[in-house]
Amino acid sequence: MALDPPIRFRSADEFRSRSAWRDRVDPAKHRLKRIIGDYSFSRENELPCGLLGCRTPHQNGYVVETEDGLETHIGNHCGRRYFGVNWGEIQSVYNHATEEQNRQEFLDSTLRKRDDLLRRIDDISGQLSKATDAVREVLERFNREPMLIMAVERLVQDRGAIQVEREIDADMAGAMNLRERDRRYMETIARVAGTEVIFPANKLHPKGEQHRSSLLNAEATLRGLSATSLRDLTPRQQKERVKAVELVESTIVEAQNHLHVSRQFLNPSNLRSLAKLQVKRPNSRTERILHHFAQIGSDT
């Protein structure tokens, strides 16, 4: 006959509210039958043993059932001391049931998490690929002109600010009693959101490529989590798998955040701001490229 699953009691009220529970049970009159569950409380929540002859305060213990159907709670050592039964055998049966329950809960929760994360990866991968390709198209236009590449690198370094140098005219500077070197200042004429999705190097590459690669690795990790591979893991191995799944979840969150920023960058009004990039020695090609961005989203 299958045993009832072990219960992890989170508070004393949970077992005190059970209809069969009794305090101050006499172990000489009520023979122990089985362990129902266990508990582990903080020191401030410790409680006296439910046996009449003990009453020792404790934090960790078991809720037990007697042969005549009563329930009470006992500390770790009372089973062997007060009940005339083979406590070790009863405890072993309970421990085995607890291990099986923990194993099944780990298996079920991990497989549920795996399936959920695979769905999330499937949902985001296509969107991320589309956004990354769109960012690449933008960057490829700049790659045609070294001066524009330098301008975009400055943009990234300045966290999206497009600045130009201004100079206070001589009359104003005189009125303000400014020295010659203090007459020049930088003015931000535009801001481009989402410049985190690119980074300067020998060439410009979308950061989304890194996230796409990370998602592929994360998917491979999840595909390796089968019921067969998870069923007989040791507790230490279970913790390792939990950490691996947490890392996958973090990878997905980072990809989602990157997708959000990519969409900010690709917004037409945001891309039009790129037309204000400052080029020291513009030529006809740089002018055409900047004009292209100035016209994004225009009806004409």
Q: Return the bridge partners of 164, or none.
A: 187
Both 64 and 199 in a single domain?
no
Which whole number is the average pLDDT over 21-49?
Answer: 94
The span from the CA of 274 to the CA of 289, in Å, is 10
Domain boundary, last residue among 56, 85, 114: 85
Which uninterrupted H or E stretch holds 63? strand 60-66
Which uninterrupted H or E stretch holds 35? strand 32-40
Both 110 and 221 in a single domain?
yes
- Residues constituting the chain: 300
Q: Return the bridge partners of 58, or none.
A: 47
- Are 22 and 50 in contact, with CB atoms under 8 Å apart? yes
Both 12 and 112 in a single domain?
no
Both 56 and 156 in a single domain?
no
The answer to whether position 132 is within a domain reads yes
Domain boundary, last residue among 85, 120, 136: 85
Question: Would you state the pLDDT for residue 202?
Answer: 45
- Considering only CA atoms, which of 154, 186, 145, 98 is closest in space to residue 288? 145
The answer to whether position 300 is within a domain reads no
The answer to whether position 216 is within a domain reads yes
The answer to whether position 134 is within a domain reads yes
Both 32 and 156 in a single domain?
no
The answer to whether position 184 is within a domain reads no
Both 43 and 151 in a single domain?
no
Both 270 and 144 in a single domain?
yes
- If one counts the domains in the chain, the total is 2
| φ, ψ (nearest 5 deg) of residue 26 | -85, 110
Domain boundary, last residue among 85, 120, 143: 85
> Each residue of 140-181: pLDDT tens digit?
888 888 889 889 888 988 999 998 877 666 666 666 666 666
**pLDDT higher than 50, residue 1:** no
Both 60 and 153 in a single domain?
no
The span from the CA of 128 to the CA of 239, in Å, is 31
Question: Would you state the pLDDT for residue 76?
Answer: 76
Residue 168 or 18, more confident: 18
Question: Would you state the pLDDT for residue 292?
Answer: 93
- For 265, the domain range is 106-162+192-294
The answer to whether position 174 is within a domain reads no
If one counts every other C-beta atom within 10 angstroms of the C-beta of residue 191, the result is 15
Both 237 and 140 in a single domain?
yes
- Are 248 and 181 in contact, with CB atoms under 8 Å apart? no
> Each residue of 56-70: pLDDT tens digit?
999 999 999 999 999
Both 81 and 210 in a single domain?
no
Question: Would you state the pLDDT for residue 175?
Answer: 63
Question: Would you state the pLDDT for residue 3?
Answer: 63
The answer to whether position 269 is within a domain reads yes
- State the angle between helix axes of 284-294 and 87-142 in degrees (0 to 180), rounded to the nearest 10: 120
Q: Work out the pLDDT band at 201, boundaries 50, 70, 90.
A: very low
> Each residue of 203-241: pLDDT tens digit?
567 889 999 999 999 999 999 999 999 999 999 999 999
Both 207 and 272 in a single domain?
yes
The answer to whether position 98 is within a domain reads no
Both 143 and 12 in a single domain?
no
